């Protein structure tokens, strides 16, 4: 039995994660001093590294970790890091998980270019390794992530996101990358299309559960745990699942009143009103039930694989995602 902590979940691939970290650090090195300085700053920020963890576990459960697996893990982590840097520019964010953002320290122009550099480095790793199948997968992922972000911006302006649109957004914006991690991991170690399809389903399910959990934390988390203020999504006028469900429980008139508060007011009192409204309408409970549904789908997808420590670790990762506090 593996406990639901990342250190415990990582145990079946502990040595592989060390090897990945070495490759990841090496992949960001540059002869340009400014690039190297920013790369070292990025490495110092201790992230969860869930995505490379997923790539390595998916490879191990499918057959075994190899050099291609490490290149795939580096590719997705470089892409993920690039998108975070670009997101901070788009959101004009000063901090990320307690650290000053790249754009806050080096300004937007440098941050955008650094994001571009990291993305290109990931692509070059795949090209140099002749992992052209990875390039097809990752190109589609970047397209989906961009479309998801743009659809969210479009819908945020009108405050008219329904449940179907919400799932389209989070599937493209968040789940697509975790789906890609699982698929690339499986592709790196197996030619079995059933394994690829199963891990793809697993990745999509945990990706959706991960984002819904994130949206729940916006209503019930705390700044000290999450590193971001409660109600941040409300202030940014983002309509997420707890609120979508709650709006559907009341009259058209009351829903319009709530939307007006979100659109026209942006203070602590208005955020409190929205959070209280969602609690009264059981929006958080509905979102929790939905994460459990997707977590069950994820575990179901793993049934095709023989029993192993890596499979147990992937199952434990599902529980970690839906129970996490940050």
CA–CA dist 276, 261 (Å, integer): 13
- The CATH number assigned to the domain holding 140 equals 1.10.600.10
In a domain? residue 54: yes
Task: Match 């997968």 to its residue by tokens.
Answer: 137
Q: How many domains does the chain have?
A: 1
The CA-atom distances, in angstroms, between 276 and each of 43, 213, 219, 273, 280 are: 39, 18, 9, 5, 6
Under 8 Å between Cβ of 229 and 275: no
Determine contact, residues 310/189, Cβ cutoff 8 Å.
Answer: no
**What phi, psi does 95 have (nearest 5°)?**
-135, 155
Tell me whether residue 160 is in a domain: yes
What pLDDT shows up at residue 222? 57
Angle between helices 193-220 and 268-280 (to 10 degrees): 120
In a domain, residue 246? The reply is yes
CB 75 within 8 A of CB 134: yes
11 and 50 Cβ atoms separated by less than 8 Å: no
59 with 188: CB under 8 angstroms? yes
In a domain, 1, yes or no: no
Residues of the chain with pLDDT under 70: 1-4, 46, 221-229
> The domain containing residue 153 runs over which residues?
6-323
At 212 the pLDDT is 97
Angle at 210 between CA 297 and CA 205, to 5 degrees: 25
């Amino acid at each position: 039995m593996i406990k639901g902590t990342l250190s415990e979940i990582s145990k079946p691939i502990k040595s592989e994660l060390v090897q990945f970290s070495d490759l990841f650090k090496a992949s960001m090195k540059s002869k340009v001093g400014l690039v190297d300085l920013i790369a070292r700053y990025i490495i110092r920020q201790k992230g969860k590294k869930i995505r490379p963890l997923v790539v390595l576990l998916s490879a191990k459960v499918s057959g075994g970790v190899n050099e291609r697996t490490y290149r795939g893990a580096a590719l997705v982590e470089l892409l993920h890091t690039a998108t975070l840097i670009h997101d901070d520019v788009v959101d004009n964010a000063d901090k990320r998980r307690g650290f000053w953002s790249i754009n806050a320290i080096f300004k937007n122009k440098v941050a955008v270019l650094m994001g571009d550099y990291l993305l290109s480095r990931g692509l070059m790793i795949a090209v140099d390794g002749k992992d052209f199948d990875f390039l097809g997968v990752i190109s589609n992922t970047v397209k989906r992530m961009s479309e998801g972000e743009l659809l969210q911006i479009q819908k945020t302006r009108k405050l008219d996101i329904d449940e179907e649109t919400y799932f389209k957004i989070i599937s493209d914006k968040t789940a697509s990358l975790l789906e890609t991690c699982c698929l690339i991991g499986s592709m790196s170690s197996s030619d079995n299309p059933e394994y690829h399809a199963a891990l793809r389903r697993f990745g999509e399910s945990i990706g959706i559960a991960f984002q819904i959990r994130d949206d729940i934390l916006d209503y019930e988390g705390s700044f000290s745990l999450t590193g971001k203020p409660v109600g941040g999504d409300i202030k940014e006028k983002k309509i997420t699942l707890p609120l979508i469900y709650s709006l559907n429980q009341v009259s058209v008139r009351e829903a319009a009143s709530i939307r007006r508060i979100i659109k026209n007011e942006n203070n602590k009192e208005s955020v409190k009103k929205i959070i209280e409204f969602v609690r009264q309408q059981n929006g958080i409970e509905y979102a929790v039930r939905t994460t459990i549904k997707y977590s069950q789908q994820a575990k179901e997808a793993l049934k095709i694989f023989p029993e192993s420590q890596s499979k147990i670790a992937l199952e434990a990762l599902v529980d970690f995602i839906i129970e996490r506090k940050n």
